[in-house]
Amino acid sequence: MFRKTFTGFLRVLPINNNILNNSRTICISSTYCRDVTDRKEMLKSMPVIDEGTAGEKSLDMDLLIDTGSERFPTSQMAKKQFGGVYYNDIPILNITVSHNNTIINYTNSKGVPEVIRSCGIEGFKNTRKGTNIAAQATAISIGTRVLEKGIKTVRVRVCGIGPGRMSAIKGLQMSGLNIVSITDNTRVSWNPPRPRKQRKL
């Protein structure tokens, strides 16, 4: 008679009451011991990741620098024309990104705001406002409004750290705007505030 022991090996046990009483065996069904061979079945059993809550992928800047020689602005950039407009006269789209929301405002070259959109205005509520999908939808919305004004070429300034940094820029490109430059204006504190003391339990 064949039985499967707890160690997983097959053992032949003769039918003898003395030996059966002395040795303890555990009978395990073969259905419980089978390995998962179907990958699709295994992926279905895994929990679903909420769409839009994950952060953006990082890019290797060294590879980008090596591929193009004019990635960074020079002193001659102000004299350069983009679509018949000088660089300093191109309007600016300011993207303010936080973990809770993404706010995009359109200003003229002097810095006077004209259009402001945020994820909350677009209809996203609570924790959905901080997702990259909300930032992309907001960028597409403000991009279409800027195109209605007859402006095709813009500069972009990004301020803050959050999941909607790259998604907002992608949304502006999807709306049909021609982005000339992307500037990161995130503030860096060289003398940060003192951390809180350790909690006593």
Residues 77-96: tens digit of each pLDDT: 777 888 888 888 899 999 99
Shortest CA distance to 142 belongs to which of 169, 112, 111, 165?
A: 169
Domain residue extents for the chain: 2-34, 78-184
The Cβ-side half-sphere exposure at 85, using a 13 Å CA radius, reads 15
CATH top-level class of 78-184: alpha beta
Question: Which residues are CB-neighbours of 201 under 8 A, at least 6 positions away?
Answer: none
Query: With 80 as the cut, is the pLDDT of residue 100 above it?
Result: yes
The arithmetic mean of pLDDT across residues 165-185, rounded, is: 91
**Torsions phi, psi for 151 (to 5 deg):** -110, 125
Give me the pLDDT at residue 81, please: 83
Question: Which residues, 6+ apart, have CB-to-CB distance to 166 below 8 Å?
Answer: 56, 57, 132
In the predicted structure, residue 28 carries a pLDDT above the cut 90 = no
Q: Is the dihedral of CA 73, 180, 70, 171 positive or negative?
A: positive
pTM for this entry: 0.62
Mean of the per-residue pLDDT values for the chain?
Answer: 78
- The pLDDT of residue 79 is 79
